[in-house]
Structures are given as structure tokens and as C-alpha cells.
Structure 1
Amino acid sequence: MVLLLWVVALRWALLGNPLVDNDDNFYLYAGGRLWAGDVIYADVWDRKPWGMFAFYGLFDQFGPWRFWAAHCAAVLAVWGTGLGIVRLARTIAPATGAWVAAFLYVACLNLRRGYGIETPVFYNLLMVWAVWMVAALVLGRGKGDLKPSTLLGHGACAMALVGLAMQFKPTTVFEGCYLGLILLALAWRARVLPATAPLWRRLLLKLLPWCGCGLLWAGLAFLPTLAVALAYAASGHGHDWWFANVDSLFLRHGQPELRQQLKLTCAGGVLALAWPLGWLLGLRFRGAERGPWLFISGWALIALLAVIIVPGIQSYYALPLMAPFAVLWAPLWRAKAGKALLLVGLAVTTLWGEYTVGTLARDRTMGDWQAMQTALSNPAGCVFQYLSQGLVLEATPQAARCHVTNLPFPNHLADEEEQGALPRDTLQELARILALRPQYLVDKSKVGNADARPTMGAADKLFLDTVKRDYVRVYAHPRSRSHAHLSATDLYDLIIWRLRPGLKPLINPPSP
């Protein structure tokens, strides 16, 4: 219960806030479209897995309370992940150290945009408990009491959880493969046959159940993805699914920002200090603890490699690393210096994270959201946003019913890396949308900044020329309440433009 209160306390300032993050809002919007009958990858396009949209769409059913529903679910997910971290850490660390690791995990989330409903907040829960299922087997083998039925059951549960996690983030397949290999190794060594039996018979009796276990575990891991793929193929949208989930990933060609690379590198480097610090503090893992420590270290390494090899880098990609490394920091509690280090680290991350959360809560308020809704309601009509907030697409009932494009994600028509990686030509699609004269356009002051967006001149120019000719500004949200340090070209993170008087939109919301 104390851990739950800790989670609520650290996330309290942003609970129910609709302006926490652009991606979160789009997931709710697209998920709601899915539950309304639209086809993901056809009617509304994105490359995220189908299961993620189905999950977020559940919250969208709560209407104006959808943000509270999603944030409360995130609180429960973080709490459940923390409890899983405690269980895992207890295999290699004292009880107090395990609990401190869980508290540290909760605090660290706020440092890398984990204060909202980003997908790692949810799939970390699935992966931690999947790893716990396998860690219990590793621990059981170390104690010499691993039963075949326990191995089969725990392995099945672990891989089923991995399958669900892959429907949030496909790169969890790397961690899933690692768990699968560990399970296969345990299964191979679990069955001991009499040495008097012929070699061929021993191999056959070992291989058959071993292969059966492997097929069962792999099948459970890939079942959700396979079911979605088959459903799309049966409905005639197999190509749409394949292009979004496979082809488009390799067609992106943008280079990650140096700033984002540095943030992710720093985060990964600090988390990975658990290994050298443990060695310097004289921590050695022997006996029953050695197996779980090696296993959890392997998990952390695979998670780190998965982040490194994924195309495109964002600072919040560090979120999946926080659970495995939080577990690895727990054993430091055994040393006096380690206790001090953990407590100082917990204090620093908590204060730093709360400063981040508090700043965001002041910069993006419910009053801001209500002002945006008011600006988009006079008169209500279709909305197109360009490099801004997906939230505005359902700011009013009329906007929610009007689907200007099947590429509604904020960055898809506005990012260099997406050119050639979408089902339509970005410039042609942007020109088509602007020719329809939606009632409202939404962007940010960064659009048109040649320094920040040197390769997006044609798209930005087309958008800005249309804005200057046909639209008037009716609302601007400052990026920061204390924005003296910002340049004039990056002053506003959301600007609403309304069609000039006398001009009529060529696209209107359908009747309810």
C-alpha cells in the first residue's frame, strides 16, 4: 500500500491532465476510432501494433473522463510493475533494498516522460512479471527443486505475457527470445534419463518433449500477433498490416537528433553503473543467487541492445531499461556505501522528477485545454493538425466525426524521416488536405524554422502559405510559462488558426 501511495504522490500533479504528451493523446484518439469501427492501418494509419490501439481505445470510451481513466490505469500499472521489481530483486538482494529499487523505478519514470500513459508504463508491467516467472525457475533449479510441471506452466505464462507485450511494443521480441532461450536451456537440463538406455533413445526421449515445450512457448508468444495478421488477411487488409508493421519501419530514413542521442546515452550509462558499482563495493553472487543475478543481468543487457538497434532515438526510449536496472541496483543495499548511494539516488531522482512534473503541470493546465476547446468551437468544424497535438482531433464532437486524412499522427506529414515511409506521398497528401480548407489548422511556431527543420522547406512553405492566405490566428499556447530562454521561432507549442471570414470550408463534419 505504501508503494501505491508513492506512485500516486509522484504522479498526482498530472493525473487526468489531457495535455501531458502528444503520443498519448493520439493513441486514445486512434483507439477510439478502432472501437468505433474504423480499420487501423487503413482508415487511420500508424505503425504501432493493433493491440495497443485496442487497449487505449478502452479508455476513450469514457468520453470526457478518458484522461482520468487512462491515468488511473497507468498508476495501477506502475504499482504492479513496482511489486514485480520487489519480487525479482528479492532473489538477489535484501528485502529493504528490493523495496528501495521499486521506489527508485517509480521516481525514475518521471525523468523520461513516464509520468503519463506512454506505452512502456504498461508493457513494463507485462515484461517484469514474465521475467519473474522465468527467474523463479532459475532460482528453483539453483535450489535443486525444479519440477517439469512448474517449468511448463511458468514458461507458458511468461511467454503469453511476452506475446501481449509485443502488441504494445514489437521490440520486446528481443527480450522474449532471451526468455525463450533460457526456458529451452532449463527444459533440456530438467529431464534426466538413465545412462543405461541407448543413446538414440535418450536423445529421442529428450528431444520430443523439449521441442514440444519450445513450440508451445513460441506459439504463445506469437499468438496475438499472428491472430491480428490473419484477421487482417481475411478481411482483405493484409497488405495494409504488412506495410505498417514491417515495410514502413525500414523505409524511415531520418537521423536521430544529437540532443536525444545524448539524453538516451546518459540515461543508459547511469543505469548501467549498477554493474561496476556492485563490483567496486565487493558484491559477489554465489550459490542460489548466482543464477538469478546472471539471468537478470542478461535481461538488462538485451533490453539495452534492443534500444540501441531500434531505428530512431528518443529520450523516452530509456523507459524500458528502468525496470531491469532497478532490480540490479537493489543488491547495493548490502554495502554501507551502497545504502547511501541508493538513498541519495532516490532523493535526487524524486526531486528532479517532481520538478519536471510540476513544471509541466504549470505549463499545461485544464484551463489551457478548455481554452483550446473554446477556440475550436466558434464555429465547430473539421480540424487538421500539423506537427502539433493529436488531442485537438477530438476536442469537439464535430472534430471527432471529421476525418480529414487517414494519416492523423502529428508528425507523419511533417517529419523528414517519414517521407517515403507512408502509404501516401506526404507533400501530395498535405496539398490535398489544405485544398479542402478545413475550418481549423493547428501547428506550432517551430513550423517554418529553417534551422530546426532544414529539409522540410517545401511542406512547411505550403502549410505556412496557406495559413497566411486563408486563416487567422485565434489561439496560441506558450511552450513554457517562463519562456525567456526560447527563440521566437519555438515560442508556442500549439497555435490554432481559423478559416478567414468569407471563406467556406470544402469539408464539413458528417451529421451524428
Structure 2
Amino acid sequence: MSPIPPSSQAQRGGRVPTFAQVALIAAIALLARIMTFGDPVIQVDEEFYYVTAQAMWRGALPYIDIWDRKPIGLFLLYMPAAGLPLRWGLLAYQAMATLSLILTALLVAHLARRAGWGRGALAGAIAYVVWPDLLNGVGGQSPIFYNLPMVAAAALIVAAGERRDRRVLGGLAMVLVGTAMQIKYTALFEGIFFGLWLLRQEWRAVRRPVMLAAYGAILVALALAPTVAAYGFYAAHGQADAFVFANFASIAHRNANPLGEMARNIATLVLILSPLVAMAFAARGGTRDGSPDARGFLYLWFAAAVIGLVLFGTWFDHYGLPVLVPGCACAAGFFGNARFRRRLGPAILVIVALAAQIVVQVNLRARGDAAQFAALSEAVGRGPGCLYVYSGTTMLYAATERCRLSRYVVPAHLNRARESGATGVDQASEVRRILAARPAVVVMRPAFSGERPEIRQIVTAAMARDYRLVAVRPMGHEAIAVYRRR
């Protein structure tokens, strides 16, 4: 491969970001997230990831002792932070997420440069840093972590097209895809596209069907290896069925969310992601620099990520986070265009950054903050007896260190209509079993959309009969009731 002429390097903005550019991206990332550092209730999902990882330190095994559908790699990722005291553990996982965000942004810029969008590469990286806050990605949501191995895999794939060791790079890329899948399985959709692109590269190089088939089989095996290893661990412990049901079968049994909720989710995603789609479309044909293959790869990856989002369903806002990686890389072509670079591009970034901080503030006020959580934890207390969070934040288990009475720690698994028949247990029977075990403290938030009224009635009847209300504490827009057994 011939060296890149200096003039071409200048046009692309250079292959390596300067220290000032890295420092700027890191500073913006810190500013975008600083209001949430140390907050234990940023988002319900990551609260549960932390609680599960903490339970694993004490011998609990996911899917057996504490149930969820997420791959075990996600909980292993949280374990280093969850092994620390709560205050430091929160800061640790949030620091890990911020570092992952910064590294992903740097690789977004790298891919933009390879595509010939060097003049907009820094802006594309900044876009990736600020855009997640609009999609509930201000903390440690799983895509914030798995976007890093995916973008690293993408960088290897782009490089593989120009090198003789393309098969080695392709294999490493699919190992990274498999790693991402063990953080969240939705990486599968993009991983399929990555595999097909690698096969395209191989076919263009050798045009031998037998070798292509063998290479494809190796790529699939490498991508599935981390998941197969996780399955093997559970199979060796006689829990293969539990692993398969939790990781794969249970999702097929989950019911649809209320129509109004899904419509709001879709509208939110369209509103937040459509500017990236528009900028990527506007960037087409705007440069002759860089690699046409790299540009084609990024555009098709963007399309694959959007298709994966559509196919997965439910459409929660944070499901749009994986789309941001190829989307921001493609948007670099818009940011670097001479027509948009001076005014419109910077204005868009400023507007997004400001809007993102407004969203963060709104969510903080809606969900509560560290001070309110501390007051609620104090009301629950650390005394003897187990805790049952019927509805509310699961982080109370970590803060109070009270024991659990069920492997179904996520309240939605036992009280939401969408989970009825989807978790391997009858919701009403499990709730009655928990209450029969006489939890010392029960926590309840107000009734909410999607909750099964008959399940709430079981709990409220038990509260009236066997418990007394000892505290009502605000958490954001809600008042959380704390009951103690008489």
C-alpha cells in the first residue's frame, strides 16, 4: 500500500487527533455528564446492572439467583465498580462509561478521516459526545459500553480492505462484535452487516466460493464464541435451560407496551435521530478524498443500525444510542462541508448540547437526585429484615444492603402487563409468595401506566392488613411510600 501524500493527509485532517482535540472531546464529555456524577438514580436499567453486579460479588448467579434477559457480560462489566463502597462504585461505573464515550468518539473521528471527512471529523466526534444525553445515555446504559467494541470492529474492517492481513483483522473485528453481543444482544443486527461486508471484501480479493464459505464460517464462529462460552459455563453447572430461556426465549413471550407509550417512543426517536439522517444525506458526494469503500461502509452501517432499531421493537429512547456511532461519523461529512462548516455546523452542535442539558435537567427533576435518594434510603433503613421494592428504584437494595426475597428484583418483571407470562413465573403467585415471606420493609411508588392493577391490589391489601406507613419521600415528581411490618 502506497503512503498517503502529505497533501491528502492535510485534506483529511490527519490520521491522528492532536492532543488539543483529544482534550477538547474529553472536556466536552465531562461537561455533558458532570451534573449526574455520583447520582444513583440516573436510569432504572443501570441501577439494576449495578445491583446485580453487587449481588454477584456475594455469590449470586444471573438467571438463577437474580433474573434478567441481559447477557452476563454486561453484569461482569459492572462488577469492578460494584465491588466498591456505593459512593465510589457509582463514580467508578460512571467514569468507565465516560471513558468509553470518549474513546468511541475518537474512533468516530478516525472513521470520518478514513472516509475523507477529516475537516468534519472533530465535529462528528463532538456530536457523538453530546447527542447521547438526548437519548437517556448520560450514564452507563449498555450501548455506551458496547458501542466501543463495535466502533473498534468497524475501524478494523475499514483497515482490512486495504491490507493483506485482512482475514486476521476481520477475525478480530468479529471477536469484538461477539464481545459487544455479550453486553447487549442488539449488536447482532450490526454484526450481521459487518460479517457480510467482510465477505464482500474477501470475494473481491479471491473470488473462490469454497474459501469464502470457510471464511464466513470462521467469522460466525468467532462472533458467537463469547456467547457460546457463557452458555458452556451455565451448561457445566446444569443450568443450560435457565440460560437459554432468560437470554433468548423469554423475549418472544413479552407483550407489547401500551400503544400510546410506543407512539411516544417512536416520535422521540424520530425527532432526535432525524437530524443525523438529514446531515448524512446532505454529506453524500461532498468529497473526493479518502476511501470510497470507507464511505460506503459507513452509510450502509448507518442504515443497518436504523433497521436494527426498527426491527427490535419497543423503541425506548436509549435504543437509539447505537445509531449515533455511524450516524455521527457520516454527519462529519456535513460538518466538514464548506457550505456548513463555518456557521450551520457549529450552531447545530451548540443547539444539541444545550437541548441535551435541558433534557438531563428535566430527567433529574422527574426521577429524583442523590439527595432525595439518600432521604429515601434513610427511611428504609439498614436494620434486620428483608426489603421488597414492589415498585421504585432497585438501587435501594445496594444502599441499604437488605436481603432480597425473590430473584425477580426488577419491579417491572412482576407488576407490568408487558411481562405477564414472559419471565417463567406467574406474577401474582410470586408477589404473594414474597409477601408470605414477611418482608420487613416494602417500598411502593404511585400507580403508573402499564402496571397490572390486580397485582397492585394484592400488595395494597397486604399493606393495609400487615404493615404501617412509616414514611413518604419525594423522588422527582413522585412520592414513594415506605411501609414497615407491624
> What's the TM-score once normalised by structure 2's chain length?
0.89
Letter in 2 for 1:443: M
Q: What does residue 14 of structure 1 align with?
A: 36
Indicate the SS of the match to 1:413.
Answer: helix
1:468-479 correspondence runs (5 A): 468-479=464-475
Indicate the SS of the match to 2:203.
Answer: helix
| Alpha-carbon displacement from aligned partner over 1:66-107 (angstroms, at most 9, x marks no partner) | 101101101110010011101011123443410111111111
1:380 deviates by 4.3
CA distance, structure 2, for counterparts of residue 347 and residue 110 of structure 1: 13
| Alpha-carbon displacement from aligned partner over 1:355-389 (angstroms, at most 9, x marks no partner) | 23344456633322321221121744311112311
Q: What does residue 466 of structure 1 align with?
A: 462
Asked if residue 344 in structure 1 is aligned to residue 344 in structure 2, the reply is: no
Q: What does residue 238 of structure 1 align with?
A: 240
Residues 71 and 116 in structure 1, CA contact (< 8 A), matched pair in contact too: yes
Indicate the SS of the match to 1:441.
Answer: strand
Residues 376 and 395 in structure 1, CA contact (< 8 A), matched pair in contact too: no
Q: 1:217 to 1:13 in 2, by over 3 A?
A: same
CA distance, structure 2, for counterparts of residue 325 and residue 373 of structure 1: 40
Q: What does residue 354 of structure 1 align with?
A: 357
Q: Give the stretch that moved more between structures: 419-428 or 331-340.
A: 331-340
Letter in 2 for 1:308: V
Residues 108 and 125 in structure 2, CA contact (< 8 A), matched pair in contact too: yes
CA distance, structure 1, for counterparts of residue 391 and residue 364 of structure 2: 22
CA distance, structure 2, for counterparts of residue 365 and residue 267 of structure 1: 25
CA distance, structure 1, for counterparts of residue 393 and residue 151 of structure 2: 31
2:482 to 470, 478, 496: 496
1:291 deviates by 1.6
2:396 to 392, 398, 422: 392
1:89-488 correspondence runs (5 A): 89-138=112-161, 140=162, 146-147=163-164, 149=165, 151-191=166-206, 206-255=208-257, 257=261, 258-278=263-283, 283-286=285-288, 288-339=290-341, 340-361=343-364, 364-377=368-381, 379-397=383-401, 399=402, 402-447=403-448, 452-453=449-450, 456-480=452-476
1:269 deviates by 2.6
Residues 3 and 79 in structure 1, CA contact (< 8 A), matched pair in contact too: yes
Q: 1:234 to 1:379 in 2, by over 3 A?
A: closer
1:410 deviates by 2.4
Indicate the SS of the match to 2:95.
Answer: helix
1:44 to 66, 72, 93: 66
Output the aligned Cα RMSD: 2.0
CA distance, structure 2, for counterparts of residue 72 and residue 288 of structure 1: 34
Asked if residue 78 in structure 1 is aligned to residue 98 in structure 2, the reply is: no
Indicate the SS of the match to 2:469.
Answer: strand
Residues 134 and 355 in structure 2, CA contact (< 8 A), matched pair in contact too: yes
1:223 deviates by 0.4
CA distance, structure 2, for counterparts of residue 476 and residue 260 of structure 1: 31
Letter in 2 for 1:175: E
| Alpha-carbon displacement from aligned partner over 1:435-467 (angstroms, at most 9, x marks no partner) | 2231111121135xxxx34x7121111122222
Q: 1:83 to 1:496 in 2, by over 3 A?
A: same
Letter in 2 for 1:469: R
| Alpha-carbon displacement from aligned partner over 1:133-190 (angstroms, at most 9, x marks no partner) | 112234x2xxxxx31x2x0221122111101000011121111111111111111222
CA distance, structure 2, for counterparts of residue 217 and residue 378 of structure 1: 50
Q: 1:97 to 1:476 in 2, by over 3 A?
A: farther
CA distance, structure 2, for counterparts of residue 462 and residue 348 of structure 1: 48
| Alpha-carbon displacement from aligned partner over 1:3-56 (angstroms, at most 9, x marks no partner) | 112111211111121121111111011122223322211111111101111111
CA distance, structure 2, for counterparts of residue 158 and residue 329 of structure 1: 23
Larger Cα-atom Rg: 1
Indicate the SS of the match to 2:443.
Answer: strand
CA distance, structure 1, for counterparts of residue 295 and residue 159 of structure 2: 12
CA distance, structure 1, for counterparts of residue 224 and residue 396 of structure 2: 35
1:59 to 81, 85, 106: 81
| Alpha-carbon displacement from aligned partner over 1:230-288 (angstroms, at most 9, x marks no partner) | 22112110110111112101001123512222212322333211243335xxx345575
CA distance, structure 1, for counterparts of residue 145 and residue 327 of structure 2: 17
Residues 261 and 313 in structure 1, CA contact (< 8 A), matched pair in contact too: yes
Say how many residue pairs are matched.
Answer: 458
CA distance, structure 2, for counterparts of residue 358 and residue 308 of structure 1: 28
